[in-house]
Amino acid sequence: MRIISLNAWGGRLHEALIAYVKQADPDVLCLQEVLRARNADSGWSIYRDAGLELPQRANLFQEISAALPGHDAFFCPASRGELFDGDAAIVADFGLATLVRKSHSVIAQALDFVHGSFSADGWGEHPRPRNAHCIRLFSSAHGRAVTIAHMHGLRDPAGKGDTAQRQQQALALAGLIGRIWPGDEGLVVCGDFNVLPDSATFRVLARLGLSDLVTGSGLVDTRTSHYLKQGRFADYMLITPGVEVARFDVVEAPEVSDHRALLLDIA
């Protein structure tokens, strides 16, 4: 089973992203920073915030879904706000997407907020709402189940250091996982956590038996050349001891975002 976690960066490297998703052909694709605008054509739009303008794919969720027609696609919105096509406003949802190969059975799932609550009238104040999605899959080919969760951790303009809000976020994520994971099978937790490697988040998750493959492999960078700031950690992939790793890779090429994709093949 191949699991890929990636912050999609709103689809800013759209062609490379779609090509990579098709080529990598994951069993489970966990995406953060995904947009869906129900009443707009697919294509480019602009996100505007405090003088910042960023190109975004308004219907990235539909585009990713079309690239993986053999997968069931789940969209998990955290907030709803406006994008722009020129001066015309486009109402869009922003959040997580989880895509699962249809040959696997989703036998349980939970979706909830780990920080704040759904913002229906604008993107929300910083730190903005964040959610997490947890699924339990049964693989007929292997005759066993595995639980997979991913999260987009809150962004604090002050940085990635520990805060009371991040502590509560970690506890909320662990609680969400506890609703689905029975405790006696493999567990994978991944995503853009927006924390540093020494964060208390990992001590909370360690209570579930989870350890991180990124820092455990001695890796010090999960960002691509498109990220120009200091502090190269953001994305993590954690597993319990029952998960047998056939391959783990922090993908350097192709670059499909300002984040690197995390790829895990389970034996």
Residues 167-181 have pLDDT tens digits of 999 999 999 999 999
258 phi, psi to nearest 5 deg: -85, 0
Domain containing 139 — which CATH number?
Answer: 3.60.10.10
Residue 255 binned pLDDT confidence (cut-offs 50, 70, 90)? very high
The pLDDT value recorded for residue 40 is 72
Q: Are 56 and 97 within 8 A, CB to CB?
A: no
Higher pLDDT, 41 or 104: 104
Terminal Cα distance for the chain, rounded = 7
Tell me how far apart the alpha carbons of residues 149 and 103 are, in angstroms, rounded to a whole number.
Answer: 19
Q: How many domains does the chain have?
A: 1
E-strand stretches of 17-165? 28-36, 44-49, 52-57, 71-85, 88-101, 104-115, 130-139, 144-152
State pTM to two decimals. Answer: 0.97
- Residues of the domain holding 53: 2-266
What are phi and psi for residue 59, nearest 5 degrees? -120, 45
DSSP for residue 217: T
Residues in a beta bridge with 28: 3, 100
- 243-258: average pLDDT: 97
